């Protein structure tokens, strides 16, 4: 069967329509993963999955992994992390202020996919911002594409976005580990389509370009993925699921003030 899909705003990702993940069959699961890799991010509205069904759905995409710097739901569901924003929280929301691709600072075994489900959603706040690396690369001028075709980026866990991670670790009483760095190509291919891999929250340097152009190109690419034409601000409802490929999609949380928001997150290899 062919699932019904609707592209997101600015052709960022796709909604998968008229599906019930609680009764997913094997063919549907394969098609969902195909759509995910093609569009980079998928939006599935109002599923209201219990923890077991949510974790089982994750396993149809890949292998869920433990993410040690976030609180697990409980011992039975170690792969489900609880991301909670409380009304009296004053610090930055986790993962906010900088577009990023999760764990780009890992040299190998980077988890490929991230999934969120809305558990408690405040009205009018808490959108997740997505940017398409596919679209951002396609719209680059040819001379920039040529300059970066062999470029590599240096990505650090101590990059700009680290402030939100450090605040969350402090809340949980975790002592921060040493910063991690990794190098990855700036231009990669997913299912034959080229995409930008720049993760502004982690990118600290570009290599394998002319020395006098490295900083300019870094700033140019960061500006490129932040352009409004490549952005979709997703407005959550309770029970919604967003699942994205960290190779081709950048994301960030928007600010949340004076209200409670609870999300369940699963990281998938």
> Does residue 233 carry a pLDDT above 80?
yes
Percentage of residues in the chain with pLDDT exceeding 70? 91
CA R_g for the chain: 18
Query: For residues 12 and 130, is the Cβ–Cβ distance under 8 A?
Result: yes
Write the pLDDT tens digit of every residue in 163-218: 655 454 555 555 555 688 999 999 999 999 999 999 999 999 999 999 999 999 99
- Three-state DSSP state, 130: strand
Dist CA 84 CA 61 (whole Å): 25
Write the pLDDT tens digit of every residue in 61-90: 999 999 876 788 888 899 999 988 888 876
Given the DSSP bridges, would you call strands 41-44 and 241-245 parallel, antiparallel or unpaired?
Answer: antiparallel
**Looking at residue 262, what DSSP letter applies?**
E
Structural domain for 164, as ranges = 5-268
To the question of pTM greater than 0.85 for the whole model, the response is yes
> Does residue 123 carry a pLDDT above 70?
yes
Mean pLDDT of 105-129: 93
Query: For residues 152 and 209, is the Cβ–Cβ distance under 8 A?
Result: no
Structural domain count, the chain? 1
Q: How far apart are the first and last CA of the chain?
A: 26
Query: For residues 247 and 195, is the Cβ–Cβ distance under 8 A?
Result: yes
32: domain CATH number is: 3.60.130.10
Residues 6+ apart with CB under 8 A from 255: 92, 93, 96, 125
Query: In degrees, to the nearest 5, what angle opens at C-alpha 39 toward C-alphas 34 and 40?
Result: 95
């Amino acid at each position: 069967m062919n699932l019904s899909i609707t592209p997101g705003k600015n052709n960022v990702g796709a909604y998968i329509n008229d599906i019930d993940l609680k009764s997913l069959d094997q063919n549907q699961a394969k098609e969902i993963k195909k759509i995910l890799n093609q569009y980079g991010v998928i939006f599935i509205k109002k599923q209201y999955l219990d923890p077991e069904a949510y974790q089982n759905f994750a396993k149809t995409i890949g292998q869920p992994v433990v993410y040690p710097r976030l609180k697990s739901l409980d011992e039975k569901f170690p792969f489900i992390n609880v991301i909670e924003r409380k009304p009296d929280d004053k610090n930055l929301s986790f993962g906010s202020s900088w577009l990023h691709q999760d764990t780009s600072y890992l040299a190998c075994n980077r988890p490929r996919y991230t999934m969120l489900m809305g558990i408690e959603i405040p009205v009018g706040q808490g959108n997740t911002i997505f940017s398409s690396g596919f679209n951002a690369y396609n719209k680059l001028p040819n001379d920039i594409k040529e300059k970066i075709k062999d470029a590599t980026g240096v990505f650090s866990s101590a990059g700009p976005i680290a402030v939100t991670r450090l605040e969350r670790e402090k809340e949980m009483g975790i002592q921060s580990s040493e910063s991690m760095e990794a190098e990855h190509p700036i231009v990669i291919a997913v299912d034959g389509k080229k995409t930008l891999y720049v993760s502004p929250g982690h990118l600290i340097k570009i290599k394998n370009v002319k020395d006098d152009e490295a900083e300019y190109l870094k700033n140019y690419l960061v500006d490129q993925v932040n352009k409004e034409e490549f952005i979709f601000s997703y407005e959550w409802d309770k029970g919604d699921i967003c699942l994205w490929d960290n190779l081709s999609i950048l994301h960030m949380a928007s600010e949340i003030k004076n209200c409670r928001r609870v999300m369940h997150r699963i990281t998938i290899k």
